[in-house]
Amino acid sequence: MAEELVVQLAFFLMTLAMFFAVLKYPKQALTKFRTKNRNRTTVQSSHHLAQASNLLERTRSIHRKAQSLAHAKNALAEAEKVVSLSPRDPAAHIIKALALDLMDRQTSALRSLDLALSPPCAKSLSRGERGDALVKRAELKLAMNRKRRVDSAVDDLIEAVRLCDGDAGSRALCLLGQCYEWKGLMESTRENCEKALSMEPGSFVARQGLGRSGS
């Protein structure tokens, strides 16, 4: 009787071990598959992002409108591939916005920058990258409808000034000063242009702003 109990217990333990092994194996296999798939997606995203960046860079060195537009369209296509693979990659949305802007599609460009600066994406941006994106978004808002969007642009630029330094900070301050000029706040215009000049003494835009503010 005792021997039968021992055999039954051994069989039960073996069955239990096999059961847990069966449960564990698919999880391990799924984890490996997910890791492998994630790595493959990262490599593909990086490749398309590099292609998009290179194409966008070429548009700056080409003076022929048709050829520049073709590169912008190709950059957009590459950026959209990254978005489909990694929808929370802010760089893809920013490059997409820049390409759309070159194609005179400002509304779509603004939408892409909104996505890049939304909480799920923006946390991946450095301070400088976020500041640059805010300045670009402010520029688009002002280009589309200065009168209606100037206050929203000011909010973006105030935050950009906090995040940026050097040339980028000076650019943000100059544009912020221009916004205040449009609002009739000449003292604020002067203050921001002076700050811009302290960052970039050779800034022609800042000096022009100071001149218009009566300084």
DSSP classification of residue 125? S
Q: How far is CA 129 from the centre of its chain?
A: 7
Its pTM stands at 0.78
Distance CA 110, CA 138 (A): 9
- Reduced to 3 states (helix: H, G, I; strand: E, B; else coil), residue 142 is helix
pLDDT digits (tens, 9 = 90+) for 16-60: 444 444 344 444 443 443 455 455 667 788 888 999 889 988 887
Q: How far is CA 139 from CA 19, 60, 120, in A?
A: 62, 18, 23
In CATH, the architecture of 126-215 is Alpha Horseshoe (1.25)
Place of tokens 């811009």: 196
Place of tokens 């916004």: 179
In 3-state terms, the chain is what percent helix, strand and coil (to 5)? 85, 0, 15
Write the CATH number of the domain with boundaries 1-125: 1.25.40
Distance CA 160, CA 141 (A): 15
Distance CA 19, CA 13 (A): 10
Every domain of the chain with CATH number 1.25.40.10 lies at 126-215
In order along its 215 residues, the chain shows pLDDT tens digits of 555 554 455 444 555 444 444 344 444 443 443 455 455 667 788 888 999 889 988 887 877 888 889 999 999 999 999 999 999 999 999 999 999 999 999 999 999 999 999 998 999 999 999 999 999 999 999 999 988 999 999 999 999 999 998 888 999 999 999 999 999 999 999 999 999 999 999 889 999 988 888 76
pLDDT digits (tens, 9 = 90+) for 158-168: 999 999 988 88
Distance CA 46, CA 53 (A): 10
Q: How far is CA 119 from the centre of its chain?
A: 11
Note the residue count of the chain. Answer: 215
How much is the pLDDT for 159?
96
